[in-house]
Amino acid sequence: MPDGLKGLAINSATVRQMGLRDLIDACPRFGFDAVTPWRNQVQEMGVSAAARYFSDAGISVAGYCRAGLFAASTAGERRRIADDNRLAVDEAFALGAESLIILAGGLPGVGAGNPDRDLVKARGQVADGIAALLEHASGAGIRLAIEPLHPMYAADRCCINSLEQALDLCDALDPARSGLLGVAVDVYHLWWDPKLRAQIGRAGPDRLLGFHLSDWLVPTLDMLNDRGLMGDGVIDLPAIRGWIYDAGYRFRDEVEIFSERLWKLDGIEVLQQCAERCRVLVGQK
Amino acid sequence: MPDGLKGLAINSATVRQMGLRDLIDACPRFGFDAVTPWRNQVQEMGVSAAARYFSDAGISVAGYCRAGLFAASTAGERRRIADDNRLAVDEAFALGAESLIILAGGLPGVGAGNPDRDLVKARGQVADGIAALLEHASGAGIRLAIEPLHPMYAADRCCINSLEQALDLCDALDPARSGLLGVAVDVYHLWWDPKLRAQIGRAGPDRLLGFHLSDWLVPTLDMLNDRGLMGDGVIDLPAIRGWIYDAGYRFRDEVEIFSERLWKLDGIEVLQQCAERCRVLVGQK
């Protein structure tokens, strides 16, 4: 891995043009020692086959993407979601994942064109959902990493939209700071926040469970899939990375980029570019 | 104007397909008793001609769009910007505008492809710029309304991205709450914020200088120009409007919608739809 890194992870969505096996095989060549895979890929391979493949390759499972999507219109739907989230915990356990990424979900009914506009209620359902899942996850020793998403996704993807909000939730549900509930800090979602530095400090080593790298492009042509390689955008990555490690972050730098542009390239080329940009970034620290 | 409204303003950008004179002429028919015009329109007409046209029509000038765009790479550029901002204050005075909208601006160099990534520095320049302008504006009795913009505009348009951040700035620059420095609350930019209700309460009547209506569409196809008519999106407008008036807001509801869709329609039809949606909204209070 690039000098100065504790370890470097790649989120498999960054190179979704590659199969998970090919990605795992290619990792060592570029200095990636861990992957954050997505559930559909793991389920397609079979959970135990995937776990064995990772283990045989000597590649760790960093995060596991993902559980959550709590808010729903009916109690029956919420039960189904809770069941599926518990299954995700079990899969994360089988994979030996360092954490399970929690994506809160947005407003119920948005996809169906019949949105429930009550954000406060949706956020309450998220809190209840995480509280219930935390019990199951704690039994398995699986860390839950709440990932706040950019406010532009509040309606349709995730109604946890700042680090402060995520940490308030952590403090409410896990006041003892067990180490099993925390946050994934993704620079793309949080770079703009004037309170980011202070909230990273507040999180500290117990709550900092993930650190995701990409960049914010200007202009951004698509709200979901036009993220940039580190250095191509406007985010002060060395500064934020400094805050993260100063706060005692103990896990890996992870590259997670959703980009139609990168998905059109050869996956190997993308891995090479991601690793190179991380090398530059670490040199700037 | 629709029953139950203190007054209804239209931001001229909502119907940019109409000339300013035509808009002013059409206002009474739809219940708009005020317009927030943009500088280029006013300068094109001539400031005193525009002031006279408003006055003769019995239409008020609500906000005046806009001063700000403070962050710049060189001291010379910052001086030129400060001069232009003072001119905007003088124009707002000549128009009898209720407030001058302050748009902070983003990172210096972004437009030129050479961004200064130091957000903290840019925000410091914004604070210095507003402090200097406040002196000139106070002399003229012109209220400055800082408008926080959605975090998705932090790089290229406005690095003031939450109501809390804007109010912190107000408290730093105008601790006495003179009434001459405050905020414009635009639901499009702030609806997602879990602290919105509390911060509106904190702002109170001294700081609440504008309230802008539109809606957040899902999906949003363009980050700047795909805003929705009130009711077509996911924002809980009756709730937010309730918080605003409970906090003692003393000015008008203002419709401000940037929408390629609406700009393709006849301006008169857009005015009619905006007024109708406001009528529905007020009925929901």
With CA atoms as reference, the chain B residue closest to A190 would be B151
d(CA A45, CA A135): 28
Q: What DSSP assignment string belongs to A196-215? A: HHHHHHHHHHHHEEEEEE-B
Which alpha helices (DSSP H) does chain A contain, by range? 20-30, 39-45, 47-57, 75-95, 119-140, 163-173, 187-190, 196-207, 237-246, 260-263, 267-284
Confidence band of B267 (pLDDT split at 50, 70, 90): very high
Angle, CA of A214, B221 and B106, to the nearest 5°: 55
Residue B2 confidence (pLDDT): 54
Confidence band of A111 (pLDDT split at 50, 70, 90): confident
d(CA A107, CA B243): 21
Residue B228 CB neighbour total at 10 angstroms = 21
Q: What is the pLDDT of residues B228-250, one digit of tens each?
A: 999 999 999 999 999 999 999 99
Average pLDDT estimate for A158-167: 98
* Residue A271 near residue A9, CB atoms below 8 Å: no
Q: What is the pLDDT of residues A197-253, one digit of tens each?
A: 999 999 999 999 999 999 999 999 999 999 999 999 999 999 999 999 999 999 999
Report the range of poorest mean pLDDT among A113-117, A189-193, A276-280, B143-147. Answer: A113-117
* Residue A39 near residue A45, CB atoms below 8 Å: no
Average pLDDT estimate for B176-204: 98
Confidence band of A285 (pLDDT split at 50, 70, 90): low
Q: What is the DSSP letter of B56?
A: H
Identify all chain A residues contacting B192, using CB atoms and an 8 Å cutoff: 119, 151, 154-155, 159, 161
Across chain B, what does the average pLDDT equal? 96
| Phi/psi of residue B176, nearest 5 degrees | -80, -5
Evaluate if residue B69 carries a pLDDT over 60: yes
* Residue B172 near residue B122, CB atoms below 8 Å: no
Average pLDDT estimate for B132-161: 97
Contact B218 A155 (CB under 8 A): yes
Q: What is the pLDDT of residues A53-97, one digit of tens each?
A: 999 999 999 999 999 999 888 999 999 999 999 999 999 999 999
Which of B231, B153, B201 lies closest to A150, judged by CA? B153
Q: Which residues of A105-144 are buried (b: 16+ CB within 10 A; e: fewer)?
A: bbbbebeeeebbbebeebbebbbebbeebbebbbeeebbb
Which of B275, B194, B278, B202 lies closest to B241, judged by CA? B278
Helix (H, G, I), strand (E, B) or coil at B11: strand
Residue B33 confidence (pLDDT): 97
Query: Ramachandran region of residue B141, left (φ > 0), alpha (ψ -120 to 50) or beta?
Result: left
Contact A155 B117 (CB under 8 A): no
Evaluate if residue A3 carries a pLDDT over 60: no
d(CA A198, nearest CA chain B) in Å: 13
Q: What is the pLDDT of residues A147-160, one digit of tens each?
A: 999 999 999 999 99
Across chain A, what does the average pLDDT equal? 96
- Using only C-alpha atoms, chain A has a radius of gyration, in whole angstroms, of 18
d(CA A35, CA A58): 11
Contact A154 B191 (CB under 8 A): yes
Confidence band of B4 (pLDDT split at 50, 70, 90): low
Residue B112 confidence (pLDDT): 84
Identify all chain A residues contacting B218, using CB atoms and an 8 Å cutoff: 110, 115, 155-156
Q: What is the pLDDT of residues A137-149, one digit of tens each?
A: 999 999 999 999 9
Confidence band of A177 (pLDDT split at 50, 70, 90): very high
Partners of residue B211 on adjacent β-strands: B185, B253
